[in-house]
Amino acid sequence: MSTIDKVLVFDIWGDYAHFRRGYTTTSPLTYPFPTRTALSGMMAAILGLPRDSYYELFGKDKSAFAIQIINPIKKIRIIQNLIDTKHGYTPWEIQIKGQAPRTQISFEYVKNPKYRVYVWSKECFNELKSLIEEHKSKYTLYLGISECISNFEYIGVGNVERKIANGVEIEISTIIKNEGVIEIKPEEGKKYGKIKMPGFMNKKRVVQEFIEVIYEENGKTIKITRGEYYKIKNLNENVNVSFF
């Protein structure tokens, strides 16, 4: 990967978010924050790129992301009416067959989500910056599914410097990629989580790599004593580029 010398920083939020866990079917569950694949899709929506055309543009060697939880993670379940496609694809077609036209499914959502996104792109950094700074998006931006429309706000461009924690306590603002030599110092009063998420997909939408991350559910910092991190000098923050 090319040297990461700067990151584009912006906030994104909405009333609800649903980043579906692919292994759930009848009762869809959500990840607590966007996956790397979801973040890539958001960037593609801002740029106006066609569906499934951007996986290489935001591939491992051409982009990096980090994400900070701002609002505490709160999940709720909402019962939704869906068309029962086992018996047809329109309500009237299903009713003719004597079946109930809809089926009720319980969806899990993140309530009042807000995140800070840090993104580096080798090929489209300046275009992304220009659009986000002007609060423009070619396609409607949403948090996971189209029903969860979101808003966003430009924060700035951070000048970053790669650093190594080696026995010194460092406060990290973002979720942390659980890979390599990383040592976390747990603190009282903080609620930690660990989850494995999709990292990279090919053009057939098949996941090629999963990423395991550690996070603090209320958006508090995570203290590390060993591992790689990036210092954003002009924003006075330390981040872990979680989604290489």
> For the purposes of burial, counting CB atoms within 10 Å of the CB of 101, is it exposed (0-12), middle (13-18) or buried (19 or more)?
middle
Q: Whose CA is closest to 73, among 237, 191, 214? A: 191
For residue 78, what are the β-bridge partners? Answer: 107
238 close to 173: Cβ distance less than 8 angstroms: yes
What does pTM read for this prediction?
0.89
Could you give all domains of the chain from N- to C-terminal order, each with its CATH number? Answer: 6-74+112-239 (3.30.70.2660)
**Model pLDDT, residue 173:** 93
Q: What is the pLDDT along the chain (244 residues), one digit of tens a residue?
A: 567 888 999 999 999 999 988 776 667 899 999 999 899 999 999 999 988 788 788 887 888 999 999 999 999 999 887 776 666 666 666 666 666 667 788 899 999 999 999 999 988 999 999 999 999 999 999 999 999 999 999 999 999 888 888 888 999 999 998 887 788 999 999 999 999 988 887 777 777 788 899 999 999 999 999 988 999 988 888 888 654 4
Side-chain-side CA neighbours of residue 56 (13 Å): 4
Classify 47 as helix, strand or coil: helix
Dihedral sign for Cα atoms in the order 175, 179, 185, 188: positive
What's the pLDDT at 138?
94
- The pLDDT value given to residue 188: 93
- Alpha helices of the chain — where are they, by DSSP H? 36-47, 91-96, 125-133
Mind listing the pLDDT tens digit for each residue in 162-183? 888 888 899 999 999 888 778 8
Residues 6+ apart with CB under 8 A from 39: 65, 67, 117, 119, 243
How far from the centroid of its chain's Cα atoms is residue 27's Cα? Answer: 21
